[in-house]
């Protein structure tokens, strides 16, 4: 097989200003009692993806609030799950990130489906875990 025989890699689906933060496939250990991916597992990745998005502005953040979490569609074992982010607000010490989660189905035609979205507020903190102004804009 030569390089020209290799089909192109799948394109990133979400358009800017959303940026890819994490891409993962999930395992049977991540399922709930219905056999689909447990929402808490997705929330954990959403929190991580949002925190990665703050890195351009902050060195150390803590999560203060997760809002508007909507699980639109289930995620299945083996799906490739991508977490896209957009910083939507920068306050004095807080920063808000929108996270959109998309699954590429493992079975069938591998369609791309928006499965979850959320908004997360982080606070920039100092070494004593106290709020500190965000200086990088
Ligand atoms: C985050 C924490 C340091 C904030 O302390 P605090 O004394 O409440 O901070 P402040 O009142 O000075 O508010 C800090 C910022 O958070 C924002 N904020 C406070 N409460 C908020 C809420 N309920 N929703 C959204 N933003 C909020 C404030 O508006 C402020 O933002 P701004 O400076 O951009 O205007 C503190 O609440 C904390 O340690 N929480 C636990 C964090 C944690 O353990 N997360 C889970 C693991 S990462």
Residue 85 maps to which CATH number? Answer: 3.10.129.10
Does residue 71 fall inside a structural domain?
yes
Does residue 131 fall inside a structural domain?
no
pTM: 0.91
Atom number in ligand 1 closest to CA 133:
33
Does residue 130 fall inside a structural domain?
no
Domain count, the chain: 1
* 63 pLDDT above the threshold of 60: yes
CA dist 105 and 95 (Å) reads: 32
Instruction: Establish whether residue 92 lines the binding site of ligand 1, counting it when its CB lies within 6 angstroms of any ligand atom.
Output: yes
Q: What is the mean pLDDT of the chain?
A: 91
Instruction: Establish whether residue 44 lines the binding site of ligand 1, counting it when its CB lies within 6 angstroms of any ligand atom.
Output: no
> Tell me, what's the pLDDT at 13?
64
The residue whose C-alpha atom lies closest to atom 41 belonging to ligand 1 is: 64
pLDDT band at 18 (very low <50, low <70, confident <90, very high): confident
- Determine contact, residues 23/80, Cβ cutoff 8 Å: yes
pLDDT band at 137 (very low <50, low <70, confident <90, very high): confident
Does residue 32 fall inside a structural domain?
yes
> Tell me, what's the pLDDT at 51?
98
Does residue 3 fall inside a structural domain?
no
CA dist 24 and 37 (Å) reads: 12
Residue, of 12 and 71, whose pLDDT is higher? 71
Domain containing 86 equals 15-124
């Amino acid at each position: 097989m030569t390089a020209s025989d290799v089909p192109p890699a799948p394109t990133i689906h979400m358009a800017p200003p959303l940026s890819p933060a994490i891409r993962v496939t999930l395992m049977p250990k991540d399922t709930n009692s219905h056999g689909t991916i447990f929402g808490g597992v997705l929330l954990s990745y959403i929190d991580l993806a949002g925190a990665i998005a703050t890195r351009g502005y902050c060195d150390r953040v803590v999560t203060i609030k997760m809002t508007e979490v909507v699980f639109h569609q289930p995620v299945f074992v083996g799906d490739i799950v991508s977490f896209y982010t957009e910083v939507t607000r920068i306050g004095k010490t807080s920063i808000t990130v929108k996270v959109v989660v998309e699954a590429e189905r493992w079975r069938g035609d591998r369609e791309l489906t928006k499965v979850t979205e959320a908004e997360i507020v982080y606070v920039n903190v100092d070494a004593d875990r106290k709020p500190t102004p965000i200086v990088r804009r």
